[in-house]
Every structure is written in structure tokens, then in C-alpha cells.
């Protein structure tokens, strides 16, 4: 081997070592999205019941854009609330979707690749999420108090359209008067909120897939969700003004009353 070949060989080895050591943004660091199975076909899914009313609403009635399902009962559609989809009660589609929701919930709890780094304070959060800007990743929220959101939370995809966020709360998630907004070309479909107990959205503009260990309730003046909602014991949409649940599409579109 001549001197030039030796130099090229050394450079190649050095470059290979450098590339193997450097993380590749958006590839190696990408968080895998939990598989929702047939549950992804539903905008609202409640294990025991889905209930909607617009009693006391000021303005348009509450409504859901997408299918609604339960293994026991679905009430309030279309007499009290609007439904741009189909209601499934104890049929094959609803029963399988509930099974798939349970599988997704268990996977989010048990899979090691969806665990939070123990020593990383950035991804282990307590208290109010107001004012934070969070890049894609897995975030664990402590059990000291319910997860609050009293203002704006920004999710920045950093230009990666299939970026994934997973929020795992050891207690309830209870936003009051808050909002979640997307930046950097992300989509609501790739945001997941898992609560060990209930999720209660009061006067909050939210986005993502909600997976609650017990119930989910929408209250307040004009609470909205761009995404999907799954509650093990049920989902209740009640009171206040118009509460709307839209589809799980890109969040850079303009919605009127939550619908495209």
C-alpha cells in the first residue's frame, strides 16, 4: 500500500468512527408512535359509555367530527349534540377498538423504548406546563399533583413532520383555561397523552390522542380537541358553550368550531 492509499485509509476510518458516534437527528432519536390499531378509526371511544349534551350552551351545540363508540351506550347524538360520523354501540367495530385501546395503553406503560430517562430533568416534569416549548420525545409527569395547564404549551416539531410526543402522567391531567399549539410542521396525530386516572379538560384548547385510565370529561366554555379521545370508563361532553372534537389531521389548518 502506497503513502496516498494509507492516508485515504486513515481518513476513511476516522470518518466512519465520527459518523457512528454522532447522533442523527430525526432518525436515531425518533420516538416510536404507539400502535392504536382500530381505535384510530374513532374520534371518541368510551369503555362503558359516551355521553354528550349541550345543556346551558351559549352558541352552537357541542359536536364530534368522527365516529363515536362504546361497548355499553352512546347518548346525546344527534338530538343534543352534532355528530359528523357514526355511533357504534356494542358492535364488532366498537368492541375491537376498545381492545386495541387497552393494548395501546398497556404498551405505553410497559415498553422500555417509551420510558423516560431517569436522570433527565427536561423529560421529567412536575407542576404546570404553562409557557413550556417541548421538542419531540417522551415526557413523564410526576404524581405529586394533577397535571395542570393554565396557559399555552408549545410543541415544536423542528421541521420533522412525523415527530412524536408522548406524555405519561402518574396522576390525573386537568387543564384549566390552557391551550396546546403546534409549531415546526408537526401534527396532532403524533401527540399522545396517557393518564393513570382521569383527564378533565375545562375551557381548554387541546390536541393529540388522549388515553385515560378512567374517564375523560370536556367542560367549560368552548373546550376543543383536535385529535382522538379514549376513556376506559367513559367520555362525557357536557355543559358550558360549544365543545368540539375534530379530526386528527395536520394542525396548520383553520378550524371553525373545531371542524375543518
Encode pLDDT of 196-253 as tens digits.
999 998 888 899 999 999 999 988 766 888 899 999 999 998 864 456 676 664 333 2
Cis peptide before 78 (omega within 30 of 0): yes
For 35, the grid coordinates are 400502535
State residue 93's pLDDT score.
97
Whole-number Å distance between alpha carbons of 230 and 199: 10
State residue 71's pLDDT score.
95
Decide: 185 and 159 in contact? Cβ < 8 Å. yes
State residue 15's pLDDT score.
36
Whole-number Å distance between alpha carbons of 132 and 43: 27
The 3 state secondary structure assigned to the chain is CCHHHHHHHHHHHHHHHHHHHCCCCCCCCCCCCCCCHHHHHEEEEECCEEEECCCCCCCCCCEECCEEEECCEEECCCCCCEECCCEEECCHHHHHHHHHHHHHHHHHHHCHHHCCCCCCHHHEECCECCCCEECCEEEEECCCCCEECCCEEEEECCCCCCCCEEEEECCCECCECCEEEEECCCEHHHEEEEECCCEEEECCEEEEEEEECCEEEEECCCCEEEEEEEECCEEEECCCCCCEEECCCECCCCCECCEC
Is the per-residue pLDDT at 73 higher than 50?
A: yes
Decide: 239 and 222 in contact? Cβ < 8 Å. no
State residue 155's pLDDT score.
96
Structure confidence at residue 128 as a pLDDT band (50, 70, 90): confident
Decide: 81 and 241 in contact? Cβ < 8 Å. no
Mean pLDDT of 119-133: 83
Decide: 46 and 40 in contact? Cβ < 8 Å. no
Mean pLDDT of 147-157: 91
State residue 64's pLDDT score.
87
Spatial CB neighbours of 154, under 8 Å, sequence gap ≥ 6: 132, 133, 134, 180, 181, 182, 183
Mean residue pLDDT of the chain comes to 80
13 vs 209, higher pLDDT: 209
Q: Is 15 left (phi over 0), alpha (psi -120 to 50) or beta?
A: alpha
Is the per-residue pLDDT at 131 higher than 70?
A: yes
Amino acid at each position: 500500500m502506497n503513502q496516498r492509499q494509507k492516508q485515504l485509509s486513515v481518513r476513511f476510518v476516522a470518518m466512519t468512527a465520527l459518523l457512528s458516534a454522532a447522533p442523527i437527528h430525526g432518525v436515531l432519536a425518533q420516538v416510536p408512535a404507539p400502535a392504536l390499531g382500530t381505535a384510530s378509526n374513532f374520534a371518541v371511544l368510551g369503555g362503558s359509555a359516551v355521553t354528550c349534551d349541550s345543556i346551558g350552551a351559549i352558541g352552537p351545540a357541542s359536536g364530534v367530527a368522527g365516529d363515536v363508540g362504546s361497548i355499553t351506550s352512546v347518548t346525546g347524538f344527534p338530538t343534543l349534540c352534532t355528530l359528523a360520523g357514526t355511533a357504534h354501540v356494542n358492535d364488532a367495530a366498537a368492541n375491537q377498538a376498545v381492545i386495541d385501546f387497552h393494548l395501546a395503553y398497556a404498551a405505553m406503560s410497559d415498553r422500555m423504548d417509551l420510558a423516560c430517562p431517569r436522570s433527565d430533568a427536561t423529560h421529567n416534569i412536575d407542576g404546570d406546563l404553562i409557557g413550556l416549548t417541548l421538542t419531540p420525545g417522551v415526557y413523564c409527569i410526576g404524581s405529586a399533583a394533577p397535571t395542570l395547564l393554565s396557559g399555552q404549551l408549545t410543541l415544536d416539531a423542528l421541521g420533522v413532520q412525523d415527530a412524536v410526543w408522548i406524555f405519561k402522567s402518574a396522576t390525573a391531567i386537568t387543564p384549566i383555561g390552557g391551550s396546546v399549539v403546534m409549531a415546526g410542521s408537526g401534527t396532532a396525530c403524533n401527540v399522545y397523552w396517557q393518564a393513570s386516572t382521569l383527564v378533565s379538560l375545562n375551557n381548554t384548547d387541546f390536541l393529540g390522542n388522549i388515553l385515560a385510565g378512567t374517564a375523560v370529561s370536556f367542560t367549560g366554555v368552548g373546550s376543543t380537541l383536535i385529535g382522538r379521545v379514549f376513556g376506559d370508563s367513559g367520555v362525557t361532553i357536557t355543559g358550558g358553550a360549544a365543545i368540539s372534537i375534530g379530526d386528527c389531521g395536520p394542525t396548520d389548518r383553520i378550524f371553525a368550531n373545531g371542524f375543518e
